[in-house]
Structure 1
C-alpha cells in the first residue's frame, strides 16, 4: 500500500521520533561476536510461534532481518526505562553498549543468512483499514508497504505478528502504565486516536503483508 501524506507532517513526525530515540554512541556491532551473546534471547526469539504471557498472551516479535539500528534503539529504551517490560528491561540492563550493538548486528545479519525470497505484491487493505492507516500516517515513518522505514531506527513491521503489533500499539497508547508502557510521543499520539478494535484491524492487515522479518529457529529448537 502506498499513501501520499503531507510532507510537513512526515518531516515533523520523523524529527520528533528521532529526537525521542536514545542517543547512540558510535559503537560498531559485530555480528560474529553477537552470535555468542544471544543466549538470553533465543529462548523466546529463537522458537517459531513462541508466546509471551505478559502483559497478555502474544507471540514474541520476529527480529531476524530487522534493522540493527532499531534493535539497538529498542534495547537502549528498555535499559533506560522508556520501555517498561520487566523481563526485557532486566535483560537490557545487563548489556553493555557493545553487547547491544553486537546482538543487533547478529539479528539483522541472521535474517539475511536465512535467505531473502522475492516478496509477492501486497494486498490492498479494505476501505475501513485504509482510512485508519491514513489517519495514523503509518507509512510516513515505516515506508512503502511498511517494510522500508525512512530511517533505520524505525522497524520493518510488514509480516510482524498481529498480536505483537497490537500489544505494542497499546503499550504506546497507554504509555503511563508502570510495568508495560512505552514512552514515545509520536507513537503515543498516533495510537491514542484509535480504539482497541481499530488497533487490532490495523495490526491484522500489516501482519498479513509479505515482509522481511522472520524467526530463524536455533538449531537446538529445530
Structure 2
C-alpha cells in the first residue's frame, strides 16, 4: 500500500510539474488560427470518423480546455499516447505552436456557456461512476474538470470515449494505447461493457464541446 501511494504521489507531482511548465507559455488564439491546417481535416468535419485502431468519431475539441489540448499534444510527442497519425502531427509542433493551437480551439466553445443540464444516471451507471470516482477529477456534470489538464467529457462522442478508455487498458508496450498510471488503474477496474456504459452516459450529457467547420483554404 505504501508503495502504491508513493507511486500515485509521484505521478501527481509529475503531472503538476508538466502543467506548470506548459502554463509558462501563453497561447495566442489568433496565431493558432494559422497553425491548424493539419487539424481541420478531421476535427472540423461534423461526424468525421477515424478507422484506426477501430472505427469511431474523432473527438470534438472546439470548446475543450486549452490546458487539456496542450497536455494531450505533449503526451503524443512523448509517446505517452501512442497513435502514429497524432504522433506525426504533434512532432511537427513547437511548444508555442501547441499553446497557440490549444488557445484557438479553446476559444471556439459556445459564445455563452449556459448551465449544463444534469442527467441523473441509472443505478448501474451511478455505481460505476462511484467506483471510478470519475467526478472527483472531471468535475460537476463532467464539464468542469478540477485541473485544466483534464478533459471535459460531457457531450463528447461516446464511441470516442469508449475507445479512449479502452486505450488505457492496453499494455504499455503496445503499438497503440495510452500510458497514464492513474487512468490505467481506473480503467482496468472495469470490463469493456462497463466502460461502454460509462462512455454512453457521459456522451449523453450537455456540454461545451462542438465541431466548428473550417475552410481548408487559408
- Aligned partner of 2:138 in structure 1 is 142
Is residue 116–residue 141 contact of structure 2 (8 Å, CA) maintained in 1? no
| Corresponding residue for residue 80 of structure 1 | 78
Which residue does 1:9 correspond to in 2? none
Deviations 1:103-140 (Å, cap 9, x if unpaired)? 0000001224xx23534522100100000010000001
Matched, 1:19 2:14: yes
Partner Cα separation in structure 1 for residue 62 and residue 9 of structure 2: 24
Other-structure match for 2:190: 194
Deviating 4+ runs (over 6 angstroms): 12-15
Task: Answer whether contact 2:32 2:104 (CA < 8 A) is retained.
Answer: yes
User: In structure 2, how many angstroms separate the alpha carbons of the residues matched to 1:22 and 1:172?
Assistant: 22
| Residue ranges of structure 2 left out of the alignment (5+ in a row) | 1-6
Give the whole-Å Cα distance in 1 for the aligned partners of 2:141 and 2:198. 13
Which has the higher mean CA deviation after the structures are superposed, 19-28 or 73-82?
19-28
Measured at CA, do residues 137 and 51 of structure 1 come closer, stay the same or move farther in structure 2, by a change above 3 Å? same
The equivalent residue for 2:99 is 101
1:194 Cα deviation (Å)? 0.5
What is the TM-score with the length of structure 1 in the denominator? 0.88
Instruction: Please list, as runs of the form range in 1=range in 2, the aligned pairs for 1:1-222 lying within 5 A after superposition.
Output: 16-17=11-12, 19-20=14-15, 23=18, 24-25=21-22, 26-112=24-110, 115-116=111-112, 118-119=114-115, 121-219=117-215
**Contact 2:167–2:178 (CA<8 Å) still a contact in 1?**
yes
- The alignment yields a C-alpha RMSD, in angstroms, of 2.0
Matched-pair contact (CA < 8 Å) for 1:66–1:156: yes
Are the structure 2 counterparts of residues 51 and 65 from structure 1 closer, same or farther at C-alpha, using a change threshold of 3 Å?
A: same
Q: Report SS of the residue matched to 2:118.
A: coil
Q: Give the number of aligned pairs.
A: 208
Deviations 1:32-86 (A, max 9, x none): 0000000000000000010001110000111001110110000000001100100
1:17 offset after TM fit, Å? 4.5
Inter-partner Cα distance in structure 1 for 2:125 and 2:132: 11
How far the C-alpha of 1:16 sits from its partner, in A, is 3.7
Secondary structure of the corresponding residue to residue 75 of structure 2: helix
Asked if 2 retains the 8 angstrom alpha-carbon contact of 1:37 and 1:103, the reply is: yes
Partners of 1:118 and 1:81 lie apart in 2 by 36
Contact 2:139–2:145 (8 Å) recurs in 1: yes
Equivalent-residue separation in structure 1 for 2:179 and 2:15 (angstroms): 9
Is the 8 Å Cα contact of residues 29 and 103 (structure 1) preserved in structure 2?
A: yes
